[in-house]
Amino acid sequence: MQPPRPGKLDRKKERPYKAISVPVERLKTVLEQYDKTWKPNMRKLRANAQMIDNELFVQNPEEMPEMSVTAQLIIEQSAKRAVSLAEESIRQHKDLHNYVSKVGKAVDRSFARDIVGIFAHEKDIESDKDCQVAALGMIYDFLLADGRDEIAETLRKEAGTLDREPAKPLTDAERTVLEEIQKKNIFPAVEWLIEHAPEETKLRYDLHKQHVVELIANGAKEEGIILACRSLRFLGSDCETPLVMGALLYGTASQEMKRYKSLFNPVLWESLFARLVDVITNHRSSLTDLITVGSTALPMLASLRRQLSNPGLLYDEELPLEIKIQKHAHSTFSCPILKVQSSARNPPMKLSCGHVISNESLHKLAAQSRHMRLKCPYCPRESLAAEARKIYFGEP
């Protein structure tokens, strides 16, 4: 999935994100400053304590049965310094909560919170065990698909209710590939793809292309030209390679040019990482798509509910508006006999012959027979109603 180009988003949709991005950036800056300040201070304090321990207690434990006045003074001064640093650290840590609070307030101001009652069959994950298991299962699948097998396995063990096989751990080579790609080092990933997934030529091309773009951004124009000549022309796309070569021609100045600006979008590295994880783990997760569709639909539904005089129209099984979905999945079934859409009370059922009808049709046809047998409406085969199996729709 290609990331959206800068400037293509609706300005109204951008406003909430801009309102949040300012306090988030401030919080990020403060956290980085806190980290830079206190990590060295704590290292120095620890080193000083170890030095005192070595000088006074470890090296000559028998020669000093009693502590001298000088030693007592050194320890006292070190203790006072440690207390002072701890108090200052706690004070600054409390200040961090103010920045965190500002982020929360920005979220409350920018996004609609009144979403209760939009759907007729809202799910309560806290009290409904089935919903809780389904939610934990989606999180488990997402962690596996994201290459976090150790966290996924911990979740499976602690949940205790997940009907999942133990997570297959990543090999050391696979972990190295994922760690290096996060550092923008493509070469371990390219070698792994050549050996284990040679059919992924487009992914290899995109890795080389993004590495060339990174070289352009860092001013290594000559190295980028060499890599482009060696790799892109053998792997690549007739429409994408000329764009990269044009950026090479202008060098670092191309970052500010409208024609080439999309090449330097940092989201592209995240997209490459996600695609690489998908190839390595060979695991699919619907959680990301679910969150994307939900975040798109909820504001529209909330706005629609405020405008409708009869909000009961939103309580149907089907959404009253169209949502564009990147990856389509069939989640409903219309019975070919009764011409009605299936639901939780009337799920689709697969007969022993393989044809599918609704549960209501199944029992109506079977009720005509003394032994609850029915003839398939599509083929001559007969089957028992008890042999039918419920169908669950998921990803295609």
* 127-170 confidence digits (pLDDT tens): 788 888 888 888 888 888 887 888 888 888 888 877 777 767 78
Confidence at residue 309, expressed as pLDDT on a 0 to 100 scale: 58
Q: Round to whole Å and give the CA distance between 211 and 189.
A: 12
Q: If you write DSSP's letter for every residue of 34-72 in order, what string do you get? A: HHHHHHHHHHHHHHHHHHHHIIIIIS-TTT-SS--HHHH
Confidence at residue 395, expressed as pLDDT on a 0 to 100 scale: 44
Q: Do 263 and 244 meet the contact criterion of CB atoms below 8 Å apart? A: yes
Confidence at residue 188, expressed as pLDDT on a 0 to 100 scale: 92
Average pLDDT, the chain: 78
Split at pLDDT 50, 70, 90, the class of 61 is: low
**Portion of the chain with pLDDT greater than 90, in percent:** 3
Q: Do 391 and 356 meet the contact criterion of CB atoms below 8 Å apart? A: yes
For 78-82, 238-242, 375-379, which range has the lowest pLDDT when averaged over its residues? 238-242
Confidence at residue 337, expressed as pLDDT on a 0 to 100 scale: 85
pLDDT of 4 above 50: no
Rounded to two decimals, the pTM is 0.50
| pLDDT, tens digit, 9 for 90 and up, residues 132-142 | 888 888 888 88
| pLDDT, tens digit, 9 for 90 and up, residues 226-249 | 877 877 666 556 677 888 888 888
For residue 213, count other CB atoms closer than 10 A to its CB. 24
**Portion of the chain with pLDDT greater than 70, in percent:** 79
pLDDT (average), residues 107-116: 66
Q: Round to whole Å and give the CA distance between 371 and 358.
A: 20
Outline where the chain has alpha helix (H): 11-53, 69-110, 129-145, 149-159, 172-182, 187-196, 201-217, 221-227, 233-235, 241-250, 267-281, 287-307, 359-366
pLDDT of 320 above 70: no
* Residue with more model confidence, 290 or 57: 290
| pLDDT, tens digit, 9 for 90 and up, residues 257-279 | 888 888 888 888 888 888 898 88
Residue 389's DSSP bridge partners are 350
Hey, what amino acid is at 384?
A: L
Helix (DSSP H) and strand (DSSP E) numbers for the chain = 13, 5
Q: Round to whole Å and give the CA distance between 287 and 284.
A: 9
List all residues 6 or more positions away from 349 whose beta carbon is below 8 Å from its beta carbon: 356, 357, 358, 359, 362, 388, 389, 390, 391
pLDDT of 336 above 60: yes
Hey, what amino acid is at 308?
A: L
Split at pLDDT 50, 70, 90, the class of 285 is: confident
Top-ranked range on mean pLDDT: pick from 106-115, 141-150, 319-328: 141-150
Confidence at residue 117, expressed as pLDDT on a 0 to 100 scale: 60
Please report which helix (H) or strand (E) contains residue 138, including its range: helix 129-145
Q: Round to whole Å and give the CA distance between 118 and 297.
A: 11
Please report which helix (H) or strand (E) contains residue 12, including its range: helix 11-53
| pLDDT, tens digit, 9 for 90 and up, residues 174-201 | 889 988 998 889 999 999 999 988 888 8
Split at pLDDT 50, 70, 90, the class of 120 is: low
